[in-house]
Structure formats: C-alpha cells, structure tokens
C-alpha cells in the first residue's frame, strides 16, 4: 500500500475537520441528553475506556477486512500485468 503523502497545511485541514466533527458530536449529544454530571468520575472514565476499546476493536477488524480486499485486488491486478 502506498504511503500517504501530506503537508503541514493538509495536516492542519485534517485536524480542523476532525475537531469540528468532535464538536458537532458533542453538541448534538448535549442537546439530546443534556449535561450529565457523574457522581463518580472514575467509573465514568472506566466506562469510556471500555467504549473506546470496543470501537477500536471494530475499527481494527474493518481495516483488516479492507486490507484483505485490497490485497486480493492487488494480486488480480498484478496477475493481469503479467505477459
């Protein structure tokens, strides 16, 4: 797989896009659920860790599937290039 070439300017745009998406999600959650103050921040933090772990696992397996599909396409492409 080719490396992603990027510039500092492009990095800044990506970071701003990500920050904007995080802010929109946080604002939407606040509108839907209000501001919740936990009685125990440790439990809340531990729950967030579990959520992040679950999301990471799902993303890992989605990426693995995409990699497998990419490699399959790459093999087909290379076979077609052979004389």
40-61 tens-digit pLDDT? 889 889 989 999 999 999 999 9
The reported pLDDT for the residue numbered 37 is 64
Q: Please indicate, yes or no, if residue 2 is contained in any of the structural domains.
A: no
The residue with tokens 């300017």 is 9
The reported pLDDT for the residue numbered 41 is 84
The reported pLDDT for the residue numbered 1 is 62
Statement: the pTM of the whole predicted model exceeds 0.85: no
Query: Which ranges of the chain have pLDDT less than 70?
Result: 1-2, 36-38
Tokens, residue 30: 């606040």
Domain count, the chain: 1
Domain range for residue 12? Answer: 8-81
Q: How far apart are CA 20 and CA 62, in angstroms?
A: 24
Sign, CA dihedral 20-23-25-31, equals negative
Per DSSP, 56 falls in state H
Q: Please indicate, yes or no, if residue 38 is contained in any of the structural domains.
A: yes
Q: Please indicate, yes or no, if residue 3 is contained in any of the structural domains.
A: no
């Amino acid at each position: 797989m080719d490396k992603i070439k990027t510039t500092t300017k492009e990095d800044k745009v990506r970071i701003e896009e990500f920050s904007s998406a995080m802010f929109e999600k946080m604002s939407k959650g606040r509108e839907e659920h209000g501001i919740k103050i936990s009685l125990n921040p440790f439990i809340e933090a531990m729950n967030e860790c579990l959520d992040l772990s679950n999301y990471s696992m799902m993303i890992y397996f989605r990426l693995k599937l995409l990699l497998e599909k990419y490699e399959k396409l790459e093999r087909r492409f290379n076979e077609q290039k052979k004389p």
